[in-house]
Structure 1
Amino acid sequence: MRKSIKALFSTAVFAGLFLYHTPQTFAQVPVQGSGANVPATDAAVKGNSKISGVVADSVGNKGIEFASIALFSVSDNKPVDGTTADESGKFSMSKIAPGNYRLLISFIGYKDKAINNIKVEKGKDVELGSITLASSVQDLAEVTITGEKSMIEEKVDRLVYNAEKDITSKGGDAADLLRKVPMLSVDLDGNVSLRGSSNIRVLVNNKPSTIIASNVADALKQIPADMIKSVEVITSPSAKYDAEGSGGIINIITKKNNLQGLTLNIDSGVGNRGTNLGLNGSYRKGKMGFTLGGFGRAFYNKAESTLNQTTFSGADSFLTNQSSTAKDRGLFGQYSLGWDYDLGKNQALSAGVRYGTRNFIQKQDLTINQFENDVLNSSSLRKVDRKDLSGTVDVNVDYIKTYKPGKEWSISTLYSRTGLTNNFDTDYIGESGSVTGGLKNENKNFNSEFTLQTDYTTPINKNQSLEFGAKGIFRTVNSDYKYLVAGASGSYLLDPTNPAGSLKYNQNVGAGYVSYTLSTAKKYTFKIGTRYEFTGITADLGEKGEVSIPNYGNLVPSINVSKALSGSTTLKAAYNRRIQRPGIQQLNPNVNLANPQSISTGNPALSPELTDNFELGLSTNIKKTYLNVSAFARQTNNSITQVRTAVDTLQGAVVTTFENIGKQRAYGMNVFANVYLTPKWTLNGSLDLLHSYMEGQTTNAEGLSEAVNNSGFNYGGRLMSQIQLRQGWGLQAFGFYRGKEVQLQGTRTGFYMYSLGFKKDFANKKGSIGFAAENFMTKGVRFTSDLSSAQFNQTSATQLYNRNFKITFNYSIGKMSFDAPKKKTKSVNNTDVMGGGENNGSK
Structure 2
Amino acid sequence: MKKLLYLTLFFSLIASISVFAQTTETTKKSPARIIGVAKDQNSGEPVSYATAALYKAGTEENIAGGVADDEGKFFITGMGPGEYTLKISFLGFETKSVENIKVTAPNGDVNIGEVLMVDEGLALEEVTVQGQRELIEERVDRTIYKAENDKTTAGGDGTDVMRRVPMLSVDMDGNVSMRGSSNITVLIDGRPSAIAASSITDALKQIPAEEIKEVEVITSPSARFDAEGTSGVINIVTKKNNLQGMSANIRTGVGLRGSDLGLNASARKGKFGFTLGGHGRSGYNINGGFENKQVVTNPDNTTSTIIQSADTKSNQLFGRYNFGVDYEIDKYNFITGAVNFGIRNRSSEQENFLTQNFVDGNLLRNALRETDTKDNSNSVDISLNYTKTFEKKGKEISFLTLYSRNNGENSFINTLFEEDFATIDSRLKNDNPSKNEEFTVQLDLVEPLGKDGKSILEYGAKNILRKAVSDFTYFTAEGANGEYIESANPNLTNAFNYDQNVTAGYVSYTATLFKNYTIKPGVRYEYTTINADFKTEAVAEIPSYGTLVPSLNLSRKLANGNLIKAAYNRRISRPSLRYLNPNINSSNPLQVSQGNPELDPEFTDNYELGYSTFFKNTMISFSGFFRNTTGSIQSVRTVAEDGVIYTGFENIGFERAYGSNIFTNISVNNKISLNASVDAYYATLGNEITSVTNNGFVVSGRLFGNYSLPNDWQIQAFSFARGRQVQLQGSSGGFYMYGLGLNKQFDEKRGTIGFGAENFLTKEFKINNEIVTPTIVQNSTNVMRNMNFKINFSYRIGKLSMDQRQRKKRSVNNDDLKGGGDGGDMNQGGAGATGVSNNK
Question: Normalised by the size of structure 1, how large is the TM-score?
Answer: 0.82
Q: Tell me the secondary structure at the aligned position of residue 225 of structure 2.
A: coil
CA–CA separation in structure 1 for the residues paired with 2:626 and 2:312: 40
Q: Match for 1:482 among 466, 473, 481?
A: 473
Q: Tell me the secondary structure at the aligned position of residue 661 of structure 1.
A: strand
Cα distance, 1:5 vs structure 2 = 6.3
Cα distance, 1:145 vs structure 2 = 8.3
Cα distance, 1:320 vs structure 2 = 0.8
Cα distance, 1:167 vs structure 2 = 1.7
Structure number with greater Rg is: 1
Residue of structure 2 equivalent to 1:109: 118
Residue of structure 1 equivalent to 2:303: 317
8 Å CA contact 1:210–1:449 kept in 2: the answer is no
Within-5 A mapping of 1:805-820: 805-820=789-804
Within-5 A mapping of 1:576-591: 576-591=569-584
Q: Confirm whether residue 447 of structure 1 aligns to residue 436 of structure 2.
A: yes
- In structure 1, give the amino acid aligned to 2:322: S
Within-5 A mapping of 1:489-500: 490-496=482-488, 499-500=492-493
Q: Confirm whether residue 370 of structure 1 aligns to residue 370 of structure 2.
A: no
8 Å CA contact 1:213–1:836 kept in 2: the answer is no
Cα distance, 1:108 vs structure 2 = 5.2
- In structure 2, give the amino acid aligned to 1:439: L
Residue of structure 1 equivalent to 2:616: 623
CA–CA separation in structure 1 for the residues paired with 2:515 and 2:712: 45
8 Å CA contact 1:585–1:837 kept in 2: the answer is no
Q: Tell me the secondary structure at the aligned position of residue 343 of structure 2.
A: strand
Q: Match for 1:9 among 40, 43, 51?
A: 43
Within-5 A mapping of 1:580-659: 580-648=573-641, 651-659=642-650
Residue of structure 2 equivalent to 1:575: 568
8 Å CA contact 1:350–1:825 kept in 2: the answer is no
Residue of structure 1 equivalent to 2:662: 671
8 Å CA contact 1:709–1:744 kept in 2: the answer is yes
- In structure 1, give the amino acid aligned to 2:496: L
Residue of structure 2 equivalent to 1:755: 739
Q: Please give the per-residue CA displacement for 1:574-595, whole angstroms capped at 9, x wherever unaligned.
A: 0000011111111111001110
CA–CA separation in structure 1 for the residues paired with 2:589 and 2:803: 62
Q: In the superposition, relative to structure 1, how do residues 234 and 219 fare at CA in structure 2: closer, same or farther (>3 Å)?
A: same
Q: Match for 1:387 among 353, 366, 374?
A: 374
Q: In the superposition, relative to structure 1, how do residues 473 and 288 fare at CA in structure 2: closer, same or farther (>3 Å)?
A: same
Q: Tell me the secondary structure at the aligned position of residue 723 of structure 1.
A: strand
Deviates more, 1:516-525 or 1:549-558: 516-525
Q: Please give the per-residue CA displacement for 1:184-206, whole angstroms capped at 9, x wherever unaligned.
A: 00111111111111110000001
Deviates more, 1:543-552 or 1:270-279: 543-552
Cα distance, 1:642 vs structure 2 = 2.2
Q: Please give the per-residue CA displacement for 1:414-464, whole angstroms capped at 9, x wherever unaligned.
A: 100000111001111221512221010000110000010111001102231
Within-5 A mapping of 1:177-256: 177-256=161-240
Within-5 A mapping of 1:353-752: 353-365=339-351, 366-403=353-390, 404-430=392-418, 431=420, 433-461=422-450, 462=452, 463-487=454-478, 490-496=482-488, 499-648=492-641, 651-696=642-687, 706-752=690-736
Q: Please give the per-residue CA displacement for 1:374-400, whole angstroms capped at 9, x wherever unaligned.
A: 221211111111001110000011111
Q: Match for 1:786 among 751, 770, 773?
A: 770
8 Å CA contact 2:509–2:520 kept in 1: the answer is yes
Cα distance, 1:496 vs structure 2 = 4.6
8 Å CA contact 1:775–1:803 kept in 2: the answer is yes
Deviates more, 1:530-539 or 1:162-171: 162-171
8 Å CA contact 1:728–1:763 kept in 2: the answer is no
Q: Tell me the secondary structure at the aligned position of residue 829 of structure 1.
A: coil
CA–CA separation in structure 2 for the residues paired with 1:446 and 1:135: 46
Q: Identity, % of aligned pairs?
A: 47
- In structure 1, give the amino acid aligned to 2:434: N
8 Å CA contact 2:42–2:804 kept in 1: the answer is no
CA–CA separation in structure 2 for the residues paired with 1:838 and 1:375: 38
Cα distance, 1:837 vs structure 2 = 4.2
Residue of structure 2 equivalent to 1:343: 329
- In structure 2, give the amino acid aligned to 1:420: G
CA–CA separation in structure 2 for the residues paired with 1:793 and 1:496: 34
CA–CA separation in structure 2 for the residues paired with 1:675 and 1:163: 17
8 Å CA contact 1:213–1:583 kept in 2: the answer is no
8 Å CA contact 1:599–1:655 kept in 2: the answer is yes
8 Å CA contact 1:10–1:405 kept in 2: the answer is no
Q: Tell me the secondary structure at the aligned position of residue 433 of structure 2.
A: strand
Deviates more, 1:599-608 or 1:728-737: 599-608
Q: In the superposition, relative to structure 1, how do residues 821 and 780 fare at CA in structure 2: closer, same or farther (>3 Å)?
A: farther
Q: In the superposition, relative to structure 1, how do residues 7 and 613 fare at CA in structure 2: closer, same or farther (>3 Å)?
A: farther
CA–CA separation in structure 2 for the residues paired with 1:578 and 1:148: 38
Cα distance, 1:312 vs structure 2 = 2.4
8 Å CA contact 2:577–2:824 kept in 1: the answer is no
Q: Tell me the secondary structure at the aligned position of residue 424 of structure 1.
A: strand
Residue of structure 2 equivalent to 1:257: 241
8 Å CA contact 2:135–2:149 kept in 1: the answer is no
CA–CA separation in structure 1 for the residues paired with 2:795 and 2:121: 25
Cα distance, 1:722 vs structure 2 = 0.5
The higher-RCO structure (CA 8 Å, 6+ apart) is 2
- In structure 1, give the amino acid aligned to 2:495: S
- In structure 1, give the amino acid aligned to 2:485: L
Deviates more, 1:332-341 or 1:481-490: 481-490
- In structure 2, give the amino acid aligned to 1:332: F
Cα distance, 1:146 vs structure 2 = 9.6
Q: In the superposition, relative to structure 1, how do residues 836 and 612 fare at CA in structure 2: closer, same or farther (>3 Å)?
A: closer
Runs of 5+ unmatched residues, structure 2: 1-37, 47-72, 74-114, 826-840
CA–CA separation in structure 1 for the residues paired with 2:607 and 2:814: 23
8 Å CA contact 1:479–1:588 kept in 2: the answer is yes
CA–CA separation in structure 2 for the residues paired with 1:5 and 1:655: 62
Q: In the superposition, relative to structure 1, how do residues 600 and 8 fare at CA in structure 2: closer, same or farther (>3 Å)?
A: farther
Q: In the superposition, relative to structure 1, how do residues 5 and 341 fare at CA in structure 2: closer, same or farther (>3 Å)?
A: farther
Q: In the superposition, relative to structure 1, how do residues 690 and 213 fare at CA in structure 2: closer, same or farther (>3 Å)?
A: farther
Q: Tell me the secondary structure at the aligned position of residue 783 of structure 2.
A: strand
Q: Tell me the secondary structure at the aligned position of residue 747 of structure 2.
A: coil
CA–CA separation in structure 1 for the residues paired with 2:824 and 2:379: 21
- In structure 2, give the amino acid aligned to 1:478: V
Question: Normalised by the size of structure 2, how large is the TM-score?
Answer: 0.82
Q: Please give the per-residue CA displacement for 1:332-378, whole angstroms capped at 9, x wherever unaligned.
A: 11011101111101111100000101111001111111112322121
CA–CA separation in structure 2 for the residues paired with 1:588 and 1:8: 55
Runs of 5+ unmatched residues, structure 1: 13-34, 36-105, 111-133, 698-704
Q: Tell me the secondary structure at the aligned position of residue 810 of structure 2.
A: coil
Q: Tell me the secondary structure at the aligned position of residue 719 of structure 1.
A: strand
Residue of structure 1 equivalent to 2:314: 328
Aligned-residue RMSD, C-alpha: 2.3
